[in-house]
Chain A
């Protein structure tokens, strides 16, 4: 057998690699299969659960029924098309809200943690990690108490908007500690000299942040924005606790379809359609964003 020399970086392809790949594939198969079943079933006349193909045909009917708010093919609808539109709208509202708040706060505070000296900086940095380690659910009672007190001081007409606002802020608060860390890491990579250059060129500190530093940490901003968007999009517990039952997001809508006795009533492929829609950002994200997040375009600073 001929021995071919390789660079240190190159992992030699061989039988062992093949076995390892097969093992990884086998281990992740259940996850892949379950998602595949979900997506395929949303386009089928019944749930696809195995090799049994008789009577199976593909249709867009589930999607149409879902957007009409119907839960079965024949019975009267519990929800209206407007309800579904609102739920999707709410999901976007919460997701974009969380993403906006997290991105705005973490780019500003990440910059100051990276670039400014102030008393207690390192203690605060450690505290942020601790905060991140706390599960959000553990905080929910305290957060709920605060919610009730603040809500009661408002006129009832504002309760619904306030509840959405509250979910956004509370959910964002859970994402912010880690996002600050991520942004700090990206800001750390921008050389001081580039900022100094801009200062000497006549820019103010905030102008330097906006014109020079922010464009250089775009991958970081994208990372933080996307992850917090997903966190808001996927959140179940905060939405369930704070939003009134009339205001659902996709997550709570799907949960309500599967809760209690409704599982026997609903046409499952419609739920599969809802589930697929719920998954869509994740799928899109993996299709488009992964390359962008892995790159950090800081080239050209050093010669």
Chain B
């Protein structure tokens, strides 16, 4: 168990800046998820922690000890790749035993530890097999066993579930979380799948273009996104984004619709009066009604598309030319929605997040 600190870490590949000036503390025993789209630099950040890449500048500390210049072998981290990267010419036993063999562990110790971790991960019957004789899920466990057998200070997981089919993914997801809680090992998990991040993380670190966008627990990330990127990257379907005018009050205004702010939020919005701002709101916060609820409270819309997903439906609404909003409705309610039907939607003030039009930062964070 170890606390990890990154201090102004930058990594460049030629002219491309993969990781840009990242400062981050990862608490002892925490389950951290690095979440971002592909090419965001999240895997690079993981490889920097593993020692596969060396930072162009900045420092990395494990429990206060500077490990920036240490090769991977001396960091004692466990790493699981998306492709598992098992050694194809070795049996499962030899795969798991390899890190111990490199340390020169005696045969009995090696035997005992391999058996222990294999039983723990329910692969003790597969020890004589070769990787190509295993299913994807089994290979994934072997890779995890190989990472855990050396009792690493840190467990690094690089999209470990992406190569599994959807059902297995959800099953192993829960299991991984349980294993992490049992072992209390500091874990960093890289994924582009926001559902995985929300389900597993103690803390989510949202990364885009090599820069940390927000660090927070899943609730915070989901309900209080720091900027437009976080709001639109997380959630399925993602947050709706609109450009609206700020008018005296201060109120947000789109066509006939008005939502007025009061208290602290009003003070933050006031400087934007007369300008356009970006707002986001979650599809599940969109309320439907068949009749208008009074001037300025509801927005007239037209049903554009209905996608039933079983428990609920995603309804796409047209607010005007080229302005679309997605809403989530229970399946039964959505059945009444015929294409082209006129409806009225309303939004609670608290569910609307407002962002500075230039910096795209949530005004609540200013």
Interface residues of A (CB under 8 A from B): 191, 193-194, 196-204, 207, 211-212, 215-216, 297-303
Cα-based distance from A204 to B102 in the complex (angstroms)? 9
Q: Enumerate chain A residues within 8 angstroms of B77, measured Cβ to Cβ.
A: 200
Please indicate which of the listed interface residues B85, B98, B134, B163 has the most CB atoms of chain A within 10 Å of its own CB. Answer: B85
Cα-based distance from A299 to B133 in the complex (angstroms)? 10
- Chain B stretch 290-330: residues in CB contact (< 8 A) with chain A: none
Q: Enumerate chain A residues within 8 angstroms of B47, measured Cβ to Cβ.
A: 196
Q: A191-B83, A197-B85 are in contact. List 13 more A-B contacts (CB 8 A).
A: A193-B83, A194-B87, A197-B79, A200-B50, A200-B77, A200-B78, A201-B73, A202-B72, A202-B73, A297-B89, A301-B84, A301-B131, A302-B163
Q: Enumerate chain B residues within 8 angstroms of A297, measured Cβ to Cβ.
A: 88-89
Q: Enumerate chain A residues within 8 angstroms of B78, measured Cβ to Cβ.
A: 200
CB distance from B131 to the nearest CB of A (A): 4
- B176 within 8 Å of A by Cβ? no
Question: Which residue in chain B gives the minimum CB-CB distance to A301?
Answer: B88
B72 touches A303 (CB 8 A): no
B86 touches A201 (CB 8 A): no
Cα-based distance from A216 to B87 in the complex (angstroms)? 9
A198 touches which of B75, B88, B98, B164 (Cβ 8 Å): B98
Cα-based distance from A301 to B52 in the complex (angstroms)? 19
A299 touches B73 (CB 8 A): no
B85 touches A194 (CB 8 A): yes
Indicate with 1 or 0, residue by residue over B47-68, a CB within 8 angstroms of chain A CB atoms. 1001110000000000000000
Cα-based distance from A275 to B337 in the complex (angstroms)? 88
A200 touches B79 (CB 8 A): yes
- B261 within 8 Å of A by Cβ? no
CB distance from A191 to the nearest CB of B (A): 6
Q: Enumerate chain A residues within 8 angstroms of B134, measured Cβ to Cβ.
A: 300
Question: Which residue in chain B gives the minimum CB-CB distance to A199?
Answer: B72
A301 touches which of B85, B103, B150 (Cβ 8 Å): B85
Cα-based distance from A211 to B146 in the complex (angstroms)? 16
Indicate with 1 or 0, residue by residue over B27-50, a CB within 8 angstroms of chain A CB atoms. 000000000000000000001001
Q: Enumerate chain B residues within 8 angstroms of A200, measured Cβ to Cβ.
A: 50-52, 72-73, 75, 77-79
- B130 within 8 Å of A by Cβ? yes
- B357 within 8 Å of A by Cβ? no
Question: Which residue in chain B gives the minimum CB-CB distance to A201?
Answer: B99
Question: Which residue in chain B gives the minimum CB-CB distance to A194?
Answer: B85
Question: Which residue in chain B gives the minimum CB-CB distance to A196?
Answer: B52
Q: State how many residues of chain B have any CB contact under 8 Å with chain A.
A: 36
- B178 within 8 Å of A by Cβ? no
A196 touches B88 (CB 8 A): no
Give me 26 A-to-B residue pairs in the complex whose CB atoms sit less than 8 angstroms apart, sorted by A's number. A191-B85, A193-B83, A196-B50, A199-B71, A200-B51, A200-B72, A200-B73, A200-B77, A200-B79, A201-B73, A201-B102, A201-B146, A202-B99, A202-B102, A202-B150, A203-B73, A204-B73, A207-B102, A299-B88, A300-B132, A300-B139, A301-B83, A301-B85, A301-B86, A302-B84, A303-B139
A303 touches B140 (CB 8 A): yes
- B216 within 8 Å of A by Cβ? no
B88 touches A201 (CB 8 A): no
CB distance from B43 to the nearest CB of A (A): 11
- B81 within 8 Å of A by Cβ? yes
Please indicate which of the listed interface residues A196, A202, A211, A301 has the most CB atoms of chain B within 10 Å of its own CB. Answer: A202
Q: Enumerate chain B residues within 8 angstroms of A212, measured Cβ to Cβ.
A: 87
Q: Enumerate chain A residues within 8 angstroms of B163, measured Cβ to Cβ.
A: 302-303
Q: Enumerate chain A residues within 8 angstroms of B86, measured Cβ to Cβ.
A: 194, 197, 300-301
Cα-based distance from A211 to B88 in the complex (angstroms)? 12
Cα-based distance from A216 to B140 in the complex (angstroms)? 20
B83 touches which of A204, A207, A303 (Cβ 8 Å): A303
- A-B pairs, top 5 by smallest CB distance, nearest first, are A300-B132, A303-B136, A300-B131, A193-B85, A300-B88
CB distance from A190 to the nearest CB of B (A): 9
Question: Which residue in chain B gives the minimum CB-CB distance to A298?
Answer: B88
Question: Which residue in chain A gives the minimum CB-CB distance to B87?
Answer: A212
Cα-based distance from A254 to B135 in the complex (angstroms)? 57
Q: Enumerate chain A residues within 8 angstroms of B73, measured Cβ to Cβ.
A: 199-204
CB distance from B15 to the nearest CB of A (A): 16
